[in-house]
Structure formats: C-alpha cells, structure tokens
C-alpha cells in the first residue's frame, strides 16, 4: 500500500505541475519589454496565478492526507467491506470531462475576444458541473438504497467523505464561475474577464484530474 501512496503522490504532483505550467507559460496579455531582472518575477507570474498555484498545492496536500487515511483505515481491521462504486460514476466522469472542455473553450474564446463563444463555454461549463454534482448525489442515494449507509462500513463512509469533499471544492469553484459569468452579463469584454476565465479553467482541469485519481482509487480498492 505504501507503493500505492507514492504512486498517487507522484500523479498528484504531476497534475499540479501541469496546471501551474499551463498558467505560468501563458504569454502575458500586456507583456513587459526588456530583460527580466533577478529581483522581479516574470510577467506571466501574476499574483492571481501564483495564488492559484499555492491554493492548488494546499488542496493537493489535503487530498493526499485523505487518501493516506483511506488506505491506512482499509488495512486496520476486518470490518472493511470493499465497496463497488455505482456505475453512475462513469457517467458523472464523462460529464465532468465535458465541463472541463467547455471551460477550456471559454478560455480560448476569451483569448480570441469572441464574446459569444465565451458565454456559451461558461454556461455549458457551469451547467455540466452542476449536473456532475447532482449525479454524485444520485450515486449516494443509489448506495443508500442498497443499504450502504454512512455508518457501519468504513469503506462506504470514506466513499461518501471523499466524493463529498471533491464536490464541495467544485461548488466552491462555482462561486468564482458565477462572478465571472455575472461580469460578462454586465457587459465586460473578453479581455476584462480573461484572467478570471483562465483561473476557473485551470481550477476545473485540476479537479478533473484529481477526480480521475480518486475514482481510480475507489475502483482499485
């Protein structure tokens, strides 16, 4: 199980590194000219991007602790009854993929100053995310109907906990998404909301990759 934890830690680190590179390597919209001096960050390393990177590192550490607790508890006693995740989770995963892609399209549209596609991408991304959350709740009800309650079986308890924590982080991201959509509806241009769309998209990509790891863990154990 130690090997599993190390493998998951490497995967999470790679996910975070990919997200940060996607942000830092983006060409700044108002680039500074001249050489970069040692006492100044590169123009692309804005406060918003660095802040997101730090936050994602904290989220990654939090979920690594959750995964560690999951695996340790699984080995502690015979009361652990392996839980087969509902088949609905496969559908939910596809929905989350589409939500992440929709926000990527919104980000691309913002970079091209395409306000129409920006609106479509934002609306589709938000709608698909809410559909994913609803699907997760439906999966909980399915387990509950099968007698897999929150208490009694530690495997079921951790399933509810892990999926709930992931869902809460998505709902937290929906706050930033809603503020961005409101700014667009108020008439702000794609250039004015470009950074907000970028941060939302990177956050969604991170949560999607994180969900793949969590789902893989649930399937394998």
Task: Note whether residue 37 is domain-resident.
Answer: no
Task: Note whether residue 48 is domain-resident.
Answer: yes
Closest by Cα among 56, 181, 204, 190 to 128 = 204
Instruction: Give the C-alpha distances (Å, rounded to integers) separating 153 from 74, 79, 158.
Output: 11, 7, 9
pLDDT digits (tens, 9 = 90+) for 12-29: 555 555 555 554 444 444
- Domain range for 73: 2-28+42-220
Task: Note whether residue 33 is domain-resident.
Answer: no
Q: Which residues contact 62 (CB under 8 A, 6 or more apart)?
A: 165
Instruction: Kindly report the CATH number assigned to the domain that includes residue 85.
Output: 1.20.120.80
Q: How many domains does the chain have?
A: 1
CA distance 107 to 113: 10
pLDDT digits (tens, 9 = 90+) for 38-77: 345 445 557 778 888 888 888 888 898 888 888 888 887 6
Q: Please, are residues 167 and 134 in contact by the beta-carbon 8 Å criterion?
A: no
pTM summary value? 0.79
Q: Please, are residues 23 and 202 in contact by the beta-carbon 8 Å criterion?
A: yes
pLDDT digits (tens, 9 = 90+) for 112-141: 999 999 999 999 999 999 999 999 999 999
């Amino acid at each position: 199980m130690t090997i599993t934890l190390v493998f998951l830690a490497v995967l999470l680190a790679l996910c975070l590194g990919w997200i940060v590179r996607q942000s830092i390597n983006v060409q700044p919209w108002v680039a500074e000219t001249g050489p970069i001096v040692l006492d100044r960050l590169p123009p692309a390393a804005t406060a918003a991007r660095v802040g997101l990177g730090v936050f994602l590192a904290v989220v990654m550490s939090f979920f690594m602790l959750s995964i560690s607790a999951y695996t340790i508890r699984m080995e502690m006693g015979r009361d652990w009854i392996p839980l087969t995740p509902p088949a609905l989770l496969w559908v939910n995963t596809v929905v989350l993929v589409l939500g992440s892609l929709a926000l990527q399209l919104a980000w691309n549209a913002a970079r091209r100053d395409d306000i129409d596609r920006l609106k479509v991408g934002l609306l589709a991304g938000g709608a698909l995310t809410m559909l994913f959350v609803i699907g997760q709740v439906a999966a909980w009800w399915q387990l509950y109907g099968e007698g897999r309650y929150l208490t009694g079986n530690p495997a079921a308890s951790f399933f509810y906990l892990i999926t709930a924590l992931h869902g809460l982080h998505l709902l937290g991201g929906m706050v930033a998404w809603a503020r961005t959509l409101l700014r667009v509806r108020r008439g702000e241009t794609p250039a004015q909301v470009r950074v907000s769309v970028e941060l939302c998209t990177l956050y969604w990509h991170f949560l999607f990759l994180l969900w793949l790891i969590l789902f893989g863990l649930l399937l394998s154990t």
